[in-house]
Amino acid sequence: MKVEILDLKQRFVEEKKELLNCIRRVIQKGNLILTSEVEFFEKAVTKFTGSKYCLGVNSGTDALMLSLWSIGIKKGDEVITSPISFIATSNSISHIGAKPVFVDIGDNLNINPDLIEKAITKKTKAIMPVHWTGRVSNMDKIVKIAKKYNLAIIEDAAQAMGAFFKNKHAGSFSKISGFSAHPFKNLNAVGDAGFVLTNEKKLYEKIKMYRNHGLKGRDNVEIVGVNSRLDSLHAEVLRFRLKRLNSIISRKRKNILLYKKYLKTNCLKIIPEGKYEKSSHSMFVTLCKNRDELQKYLEKFKIQSRIYYKTPLHLYNATKYLKYKKGDLPKAEEFSKKFLSLPYHQHLSENQIKFVCKKINQFYS
């Protein structure tokens, strides 16, 4: 039995009629850039999240970079963030000219807020918590620290569309936040896409110009901008898929319960949701003993798995200039040796999950 980590082909089969209608509507209009489809999607996102403004952009990485730029982060500034994330998190800070400062994670795999204050210097201007795997960071503590030291917060909510903390949607705890609609996300486009959320009109107007070459109107260039526009085709697909997002998250939440039901080993740990968390279940990351051996064993039975992430951000070659060394962030380094993502998508059958669990149980028996 083949069990894939992700099944985008099956999602297309399930949505084929609606997706082809989305494509047809956009193409027949003959206008593909910054059209009403983009505005309709942005309004749908604000309604879903409760934020005042949404801006569609080219990718989740661009969403973070534009967010940093809009609040004035510049060369020489420091931005505190988590070492457990995709490299886009620290890259977005570096490309602005600022310095990523990594703070170790807690048991929930997100930045440990109790360690943040020790990392604050005179150059610190912002905190960028990462809501990794769709689990919202402890924003109560982070907001309190940010207020105490007059720091901005930019939420890296790339994986957190549909996630909540104390009934408040991810991305709405800060002035501005960045989301991804990469094909691997729950709310996914048919390629790269992303969006920014903010409650401040000034930031909204700023990014609206910046994503479109600095244009204000058709012929007036106010600032030096970039090309980071969400195209109409992606917007129309995303608007359709947003209607299905809660259903997808619900199906993935049921998969978690099935894994808990059928796994009979203490050698693989599923991280539980915190008291106030409601995860978007973007990824299913477990902590495993003998991780590499388990992965090879599962491959023999055509069970796919992936490691997110084998290397913490502070130990990449690309971040050597920051002068971190092994041992600086012990929990991130320890956990990265145990991370294993198992098949988790909404198209999995109970029999497939039983099969995966059976093989894991056999491996550890």
Is the pTM higher than 0.95? yes
Q: Residue 260: which pLDDT band, with cuts at 50, 70 and 90?
A: very high
d(CA 131, CA 180): 12
Contacts of 205 (CB under 8 A, 6+ apart): none
Tokens 């999607």: give the residue.
41
Nearest to 304 by CA among 284, 289, 287: 284
> Could you tell me the domains of the chain?
8-242 (3.40.640.10), 245-364 (3.90.1150.10)
pLDDT tens digit string along 185-219? Answer: 999 999 999 999 999 999 999 999 999 999 988 88
Averaged pLDDT score across all residues of the chain = 97
The answer to whether residue 292 scores a pLDDT higher than 90 is yes
pLDDT tens digit string along 144-155? Answer: 999 999 999 999
